[in-house]
Structure 1
Amino acid sequence: MHQFSPIVNSSDPITLVGGGEATPQDLQKALTLAPVCVAADGGARLALRAGVTPTAVIGDFDSVLEDDLARIPAERRHHISEQDSTDFEKALTRIHAPVVLGVGFLGNRSDHHLAALHVIAAHPDRPCILIGREELICLAPREISLPTRKGDVVSLFPMGQVEGQSTGLAWPINGLQFDPMSKIGTSNHALGPMTLRMESAAMLLILPRRLMPQLVSALGQSSAVRWPARAE
């Protein structure tokens, strides 16, 4: 994948806000964990509604309202004219941070929802957690341990062929060959604290939203073993 020069550099997690289904409360919750706010195009409206002026607005500016854009200082507006990527992808690929929290990219329209899942799978080198109404979705890292509770739903959805190992799940994944056309792993659940280890960057991990602080910490820690960028 093409590597772009970063528009926003941060040693702290970043909240990236889009124009999909989300509330000012969702954004404020994300900002307690990822205090730098960046808007992807029309996401500027939600940021401004929440009383937050984004550090940057990135996109092709086809969905942001002119009145909203006028409230953003000119030096914070970054117009990307190409039409080969979504505004989410334009923004995510130009952010350098330990982890990104995506607010307003799930729900609302199914095509936007699916496109967002494509983006986090296509850019495994950029850890990103998408926040839904009740759930979190991220690309499963190489290794992760989380304090899940007995009964927590832990869903795994492959975006390609992928294998892995687990502990703490009702149905262990060891030895299974996942493939979106033949075997998926939705509606699994935890027996207590869980661990996952994936062999490749191709598995979406879906967790209860309650685990957002722990997931941000796990993906953003400096010792985390990260996936490399996909080859062009």
Structure 2
Amino acid sequence: MIKIIHIVAGGPEKLVPDLSEYQDENIIWVGVDKGVQMIIGAGLRPDIAVGDFDSILEDEWKRIERLVPSLRKFKPEKDETDMELAIMWALEMNPTSVRIFGGTGGRLDHFMANALMLGKYKQENPNVTFELIDVQNILSVHLPGGYDVKGDEERKFISFIPIFSDVYGLTLKGFKYPLNNHHVPTGSSLCISNELIHETGHFSFEKGILMMIRSKD
């Protein structure tokens, strides 16, 4: 059975897409701290709320207690961020896909931690699809192998960024700037802002972890 978990954090609301467009009967909604209020504000029902909720006012907390069937409240002094606690809970549910909203913009340290966490948990859960989504970008992480990429007129710019280590054997087919069995060092800007020239492209690599970002201007 397909199980998709949507995690909504408390990032800037202007960067969060219309969550109602991502609703489906198979979706499990997880609110992280203030993110639970974004879910409720979109007319959706959170299944669980996770975090220390140190930024939630007392009357807001009473509303959350009334509307959210499951609450996991932690002390502010802890080793994991609220987001990581939410991801850890999500993975206990054996999902096929984890999508994160409200995890970009605002504090740069939170964004970097969220993006790099996807790489960490992808290594530990290779069969789970991880995405970080905002109004302008979709970020995903990939392990060695081959992948098809469908065209998207809205987010036509595609970038590939090695994380944690260099990427080896990167091949891009159907792209404006193709590559063949290329070594891409960590920190390289070689694969920034590429585009598809056909309806479908393909990328593959042999070693490393690759972050793909699909963006619109």
TM-score, normalised with respect to structure 2 = 0.79
1:145 pairs, out of 144, 148, 152, with 148
Deviation of the 1:38 alpha carbon: 0.8
**1:157-203 Cα deviation digits (max 9, x unpaired):** 11121122221112223222222234541111111111122334521
Q: Does 1:122 align with 2:120?
A: yes
Report 1:39-188 matches (<5 A): 39-73=31-65, 76-81=70-75, 83-95=78-90, 96-124=94-122, 125=125, 126-141=128-143, 142-148=145-151, 152-159=156-163, 160-163=165-168, 164-182=170-188, 184-188=190-194
Q: Distance in 1 between matches of 2:26 and 2:173?
A: 29
Q: Decide whether the 8 Å contact of 2:9 with 2:35 is kept in 1.
A: yes
Deviation of the 1:63 alpha carbon: 3.1
Q: Which amino acid aligns with 1:60?
A: D
Q: Distance in 2 between matches of 1:29 and 1:208?
A: 18
Q: Determine which structure has more spread, i.e. the larger CA radius of gyration.
A: 2
Greater Cα offset, 65-74 or 42-51: 65-74
**1:19-41 Cα deviation digits (max 9, x unpaired):** 01235752112224962211112
Instruction: Name the structure 2 match of 1:230.
Output: none
1:207 pairs, out of 185, 209, 214, with 214
Q: Unaligned 5+ residue runs, structure 2?
A: none
Q: Distance in 2 between matches of 1:70 and 1:143?
A: 48
Instruction: Name the structure 1 match of 2:13.
Output: 22
Q: Percent identity?
A: 24
Alpha carbons of structure 1 residues 14 and 149: separation in structure 2 relative to 1, 3 Å: closer
Q: Distance in 2 between matches of 1:200 and 1:91?
A: 29
Aligned-CA RMSD value: 2.7
**1:34-60 Cα deviation digits (max 9, x unpaired):** 622111122112112122231011123
Q: Does 1:189 align with 2:181?
A: no
Deviation of the 1:80 alpha carbon: 3.8
TM-score, normalised with respect to structure 1 = 0.75
- SS of residue matched to 1:118: helix
